[in-house]
Amino acid sequence: MSIPSPNRSLAARAEPWLLLLPSIVLFATFTHIPIVRTAIDSFHSTPKGARPSRFVGLANYEDMAADPIFWKALINNLVYAIGTIPLSIGLALAMALFVNGRIAGRGLLRMAYFTPTVLPMIAVANIWLFFYTPHYGLLDQIAGLFGFGATNWLGSQATALPAIMVVTVWKEAGFFMIFYLAALQTISPDLKEAAAIEGASDLTVFRRITWPLLMPVTLFILVNAVINAFRMVDHIFILTGGGPDNATNVLLFHLYQVGFKFWDQGYATALTIVLLAILSLMALVQFVAAGRRVHYQ
């Protein structure tokens, strides 16, 4: 019996790490190191001209806590997330169930549902900007047929944020639908046939078989939906610019304004850390809360 060489055994143990090394280096360079650097910078002031940054402790976080615009942006972001995430996921599931059935033209329906996803967000924002234009926009033209007056959808504090939420749901539902559709097609038809033999209704089959088996995909979609809700910023630029009176200002847009418009890098890095903390906490809660309900075939 041959005894393995120690050098060969060492090489075998090092091989997977060597294969992972490029990914580890890239991941650390563009993810972990910037996060650590940002956390350090959040405790320093903004360098200005010949004056370098200096350690200020929690001053940036204290400024954030005393900033009413920050709290307004945070509340707007929470309302935006609560309003868009359930609607996007529910609509995506309904569309996936519909186009997964044996219906005529389901290929065209799938393409139609998915089309908003492939459009650039700036193009989507400009399309909806036309829809929301007072008097001349599509919505006011339709409302005028029923005797309703013009509405300044994006210029009113009461309707600006809901109007943006509608744009988000319209764009994201088709993207989430693709994941649900792929998951539905992996469910064995034998399960449904067995349930049908036992006399189970369609609603019972969905509650007891389909929905539990979709939980892994639902968890994945939910995590992505939360991340998307807090990194939403691009169509804010086109549609409202954060207005009126910060009615559509959200955390990432506020961060952009602080960091690149007012050039307060210290405060901006503190905002970044808070945003990362919020996303990490929400992801942790989702995995802990939904972990017990995830079923795998």
Q: What is the pLDDT of residues 215-237, one digit of tens each?
A: 889 988 998 999 889 988 888 88
pLDDT at residue number 53: 84
Mean pLDDT of 184-201: 83
pLDDT at residue number 126: 87
pLDDT at residue number 6: 54
Mean pLDDT score across all residues of the chain: 86
Rounded Cα distance between 263 and 257, Å, is 8
User: Please, which pLDDT band fits residue 88 given cuts at 50, 70 and 90?
Assistant: very high
Mean pLDDT of 258-287: 88
Decide if pLDDT at 293 tops 80: no
Decide if pLDDT at 42 tops 70: yes
Rounded Cα distance between 80 and 162, Å, is 8
Mean pLDDT of 1-5: 52
Cα separation values, 256 from 11, 50, 163, 261, Å? 48, 24, 22, 7
pLDDT at residue number 100: 86
CB 226 within 8 A of CB 282: yes
User: Please, which pLDDT band fits residue 289 given cuts at 50, 70 and 90?
Assistant: confident
Decide if pLDDT at 3 tops 60: no
Closest to 248 measured CA to CA, from 130, 160, 126, 156: 160
Rounded Cα distance between 160 and 80, Å, is 11
Please give the single-letter amino acid code of residue 51: R
pLDDT at residue number 90: 94
CB 255 within 8 A of CB 271: yes
Joined together, the tokens standing for residue 209 give 């078989």
CB 37 within 8 A of CB 30: no
User: Please, which pLDDT band fits residue 202 given cuts at 50, 70 and 90?
Assistant: confident
Rounded Cα distance between 62 and 43, Å, is 11
Burial (0-12, 13-18, 19+ Cβ within 10 Å), 133:
middle
Closest to 217 measured CA to CA, from 116, 165, 294: 294
Rounded Cα distance between 240 and 157, Å, is 11
Mean pLDDT of 255-266: 89
